[in-house]
Amino acid sequence: MNGLSMLPAIVVDVVGSSANIVFAFLATWYAFRLTRLKPDNFLWGYLFYVTLAISAFAVSRGIGHITREVLHSAGKGDAWAYIAPFSGGFNTLFMIAVAAVMLFYQKGVQSYEAIEEEAARLKQSELQLEATAKKLRELNLGLEDMVEKRAAELSESEKRFRHLFSASKDIVFFSGACHELVEMNPAGCDMLQHAPSDIPTMYLQDIFCDQTELAEFNSRLEQRGYLRDYEAKFRKKDDSVISVLISATALHDEKGQFAGAESIAKDLTRLKSMMEQLVASEKMASVGQMAAGIAHEINTPLGIILGYAQLMMDDFPEESDTYQNLVVIERQTKASRKIVANLLKYSRQSGSVRQPVDLNEIVEDASAITGHNLALNHVQLHKSLTRDLPLVTGDPEKLRQVLVNLINNANYAMEEQGGGVLMLRTLAHADTNMVSVEVQDSGHGIPEPIKAQIFDPFFTTKPVGKGTGLGLSVTYGIVQEHGGTITIESPVREKLMMEGYPSGAGTLFRLSLPLATARSTQENDTVQGKDAGTPALAV
């Protein structure tokens, strides 16, 4: 064995040690590059430390082998013997380092896997958050669209409500918790004659005439939460009154407390007037039929009484008491027959003629008939007659009776105050094909409670012996028979055409009749002898 050369072994040992050092450093350099590419990768970082430990071990071991071969070749084995323990110690130290690195590999891998798992969960959470954020963005955009759409719908609804509120012809108003008026539609303001700026300063008590009605309205509304078809009276700004039918709904706040009301009031004034006219017409028709029957039944015995009384008067001297008693019987019988005649005229059972009539002539005749009585009562008569007044068709005698009745009523109204002014006017209305006669006095006027009764048969305000209560009833029947209307204005808004008699007093009767051509056409459409139309009775 001593004869063999050690050179190949030495060369292999030196070259192998050198190559081990070179490859170890190459591995360390490569691992370092990997860590630079992926700094967060645990495996690459762990591999870098492993290769670094191996490189340290390779350097320690390789340099020790090369040093040993060099010293042995130089014959300095004693020097190597001194160095060898240190070289072995370094080798052991670095081998322990490699072993330690390898020992903690499993824990490192577990830690890395835990970290990776946590990172995956975080990543998943991040993805979920991104998805949620995306949905939120989409939802936000959707909400914006929904809000915009809802706002458009609310705006359109508000426009429709505002149009309904503004265009309604009924009174629409809102009130607050203290019964103050908050808002009222234009029709309501016009109907009550208030400016829109007046409404916020007003309360319900300012428009309700009867405070008892207001208290009941508020009580029912707060208790039930709504009110339907409640009849009440509203006061206009000029203190005139209208009848209304109210429907209301209570408004409550978030605590359920009463916060106000929204109400709609329908004007019933015209309807009530029409109902009163209908009732009056039906009542007068019934009374007329009854009057006709009574008149026919009474006429015969009255004629017999009158005849026998006149026959008996021939049997007694005029200065005797019996004769005077018969005169009284005759006079009262004739008065009774006159009442019966008026009843027959009221019921239109007496005959009637139809011919063209000039109302100016009728006015002149009636004023001539009543002129003496007017002068006795100090009543100044004034006439304002339209020239070339169109003709009407009717019975001159009955129309003259109508004017006489109206003038006599006006005369009586001014008798108590010692005189006054009576104005007679005739007017033509081309737009309605009507001709009217107005009888206006400066008397005390007609009290509001009895306006609806003045055309009722036997209704009179005159004392006993002054009137029968049939004058205006007969007048109404004649006007109805002629297809006309008769209206009343008391007190009169338009003053008399003379000084000292302003508006706000007296009474005006307005008789309107159709023109002769219009009346003829109207009669062709009705049965002969029946009414041409029911006149409007405006009081």
Distance CA 160, CA 183 (A): 17
Average the pLDDT over each of 34-43, 74-83, 102-111 and give the range with the smallest value: 102-111
- Answer yes or no: is pLDDT of 530 > 60: no
- Answer yes or no: is pLDDT of 351 > 70: no
Distance CA 232, CA 226 (A): 16
Locate the DSSP E strands across 214-283.
226-235, 241-252, 258-267
The per-residue pLDDT for range 170-184, each reduced to its tens digit, is 888 888 888 888 888
The mean pLDDT of 59-87, rounded to a whole number, is: 75
SS3 of 392-416: the string is EEECHHHHHHHHHHHHHHHHHHHHC
When pLDDT is cut at 50, 70 and 90, the band that residue 360 belongs to is very high
In this prediction, residue 533 carries a pLDDT of 35
The per-residue pLDDT for range 26-62, each reduced to its tens digit, is 888 887 888 788 777 767 777 777 777 777 777 777 7
Please tell me the pTM assigned to this model.
0.40
Domain 168-267 has CATH 2.60.120.260: no
Report the percentage of the chain scoring pLDDT > 90.
5
Instruction: Judge contact between 483 and 512, C-beta under 8 A.
Output: no
The mean pLDDT of 452-472, rounded to a whole number, is: 56
Q: How many CB atoms lie within 10 A of CB 348?
A: 18
In this prediction, residue 437 carries a pLDDT of 93
Q: Which residue has the tokens 């009585």?
A: 373
Instruction: Judge contact between 284 and 455, C-beta under 8 A.
Output: yes
Distance CA 144, CA 523 (A): 72
Distance CA 306, CA 313 (A): 11
Q: Which residue has the tokens 């005369």?
A: 411
What tokens does 539 get? 């009081």
The mean pLDDT of 8-25, rounded to a whole number, is: 77
Q: Which residue has the tokens 């539609």?
A: 185
Q: Kindly list the domain boundaries of the chain, sorted by start residue.
A: 7-103, 168-267, 273-346, 355-538
In this prediction, residue 45 carries a pLDDT of 73
- Answer yes or no: is pLDDT of 6 > 70: no
The mean pLDDT of 338-348, rounded to a whole number, is: 63
In this prediction, residue 106 carries a pLDDT of 62
In this prediction, residue 499 carries a pLDDT of 45
Could you give phi then psi for residue 386, rounded to 5 degrees?
-75, 130
When pLDDT is cut at 50, 70 and 90, the band that residue 105 belongs to is low
Residues 6+ apart with CB under 8 A from 210: 232, 233
Q: CA of 341: how far to CAs of 299, 467, 471, 478, in Å?
A: 9, 15, 12, 14
Span 355-538: which CATH code? 3.30.565.10
